Structure 1
């Protein structure tokens, strides 16, 4: 045993295999942090894509709903069939907002649910939609480096964990905004701050096994969160263009505008038929 090796407490012996267990715990912690970084990165992209999708394409979807209602109404007027009338009323009902909801909740909610701006304020996210889906590579690198260094799972006591958790709240917010300058400032702040306490002398095998079990449970939770993100409508869209999600919005917009033009032609034909 060299001078820097931890000395077991009086009356205790180093347990066989403990060093190997300790290495396994460290490797599992590192792997978990990397996985958590990947999940959080994807979560930010899903959130940004959702907000940009709502901001840029919401009016086009509204136009499509209006055209669908007008087409259904034109068909119903032409046939007089009760089923066509029912479909027209249903289509129009999907367009009309719930009356007075906006006034009731002072602009925090509409007929489709809580507005993105309200959700942003409640979640301490920036109110203005991001300029792009994926933060710059500079911001992504700064974010990954900070999380690796300041992750709460690397804390040795509760006070240090709380400090790290509070710090990462600021890191996550800057990353969600794509603010590389703030992330660099946070990196300098972390380097200048108090260093983590010394690693515990020697963990018992029971503690190491318990730590490995906790890491496994945490990995399962992250896997569930990732599956939920990937299984949602926005996550599914992002998987269509993993290398350039920002361009995907332009592609979807072109497709939607094509659908608008098609609906407008169909409505024009129906109205010409009524006049004829």
Structure 2
């Protein structure tokens, strides 16, 4: 086989009259096989990094909504109560309009779907149903170690046939779920299960055309992963996590403390307005 670009196997030339075509072809194919193996490992490491980041962003988003959502709702309610108290005290038209606007943010007028779609919570918002939230944004060191080892060993991209790829994909899905919930016991059980299973087929195809096609697929897969990583990084939660890249759980705690402080300040302001409100006129 002749490749004019010089990147593939070549036939013997006048400069090497003693070379045998079979040996030259085998050497070129071996180099190509090594390039494929290196690209596979690089892609797996990149996919591990992207999946790790995806889990952190998703966990941060869920914990942010579950832990801080009620605080944001309480702040909105206090803002509405304060605006209403100010309006009641001043009687000014602008204050009354601001009070209406603040109350509308807390309890917007429902549409038809909201009226018939289900019951609202006591605060006028549908309750959040997350019966099994993650314990923290970033799984612990041991969970990270177990996950990375399993991903490197059982990654579907290492499969050489459809049946093996399907088996690996199903197994990695279980690994990802255990890692998302920082379940070290489950990850250890999965590691033992994999070690006891059939050995992975590591042998690469020998045909140069198949190897070239494999390299092209790996490149396309990496582009898709890069786009996914960029989307996660540019999301609102991704940008927020950049404020504390080493400890995102601490960032949640810091935000919670700030919100609690704001709640206390607004409650004090509301109590002051209620205390200073003029007495209502007595009836006849």
TM-score if structure 1 supplies the norm length? 0.79
Alignment partner of 1:19 is 2:19: no
Higher RCO structure (Cα 8 Å, ≥6 apart) = 1
Query: Structure 1 residues 59 and 113 mapped into 2: Cα distance closer, same or farther (>3 Å)?
Result: closer
- How many residue pairs match? The answer is 254
Q: State the Cα deviation string for residues 196-223 of structure 1 (Å, max 9, x = none).
A: 235134131x333322222222112112
CA distance 1:201–1:63, change in 2 (3 Å): closer
Q: Could you tell me how far apart the structure 1 residues matched to 2:124 and 2:58 are?
A: 21
Write the distance in 2 (CA, Å) between the matches of 1:106 and 1:152: 44
User: Gaps (5+ residues) in structure 1?
Assistant: 1-10, 118-126
CA positional deviation for 1:39: 1.2
Alignment pair present for 1:253 and 2:266: no
Does residue 179 (structure 1) correspond to residue 169 (structure 2)? The answer is no
Per the alignment, residue 189 of structure 1 pairs with 193
Q: CA deviation at 1:142?
A: 0.4
Residue equivalent to 1:52: 63
Corresponding residue for residue 154 of structure 2: 150
TM-score by length of 2: 0.77
Indicate yes or no: 2:107 matched with 1:96: yes
Alignment partner, residue 203 of structure 2: 199
Contact 1:57/1:253 (8 A) holds in 2: yes
Any gaps of 5 or more consecutive residues in structure 2? Answer: 1-20, 280-284
Query: Which SS does the other structure have where 2:138 is aligned?
Result: coil
Residues of 1 paired with 2:101 and 2:269: CA distance?
A: 19
1:236 deviates by 2.0
* Structure 2 residue matching 1:135: 3-state secondary structure: coil
Greater gyration radius: 2
| CA spacing shift, 1:178–1:73, aligned 2, 3 Å | same
Give the aligned partner of residue 282 of structure 2: none
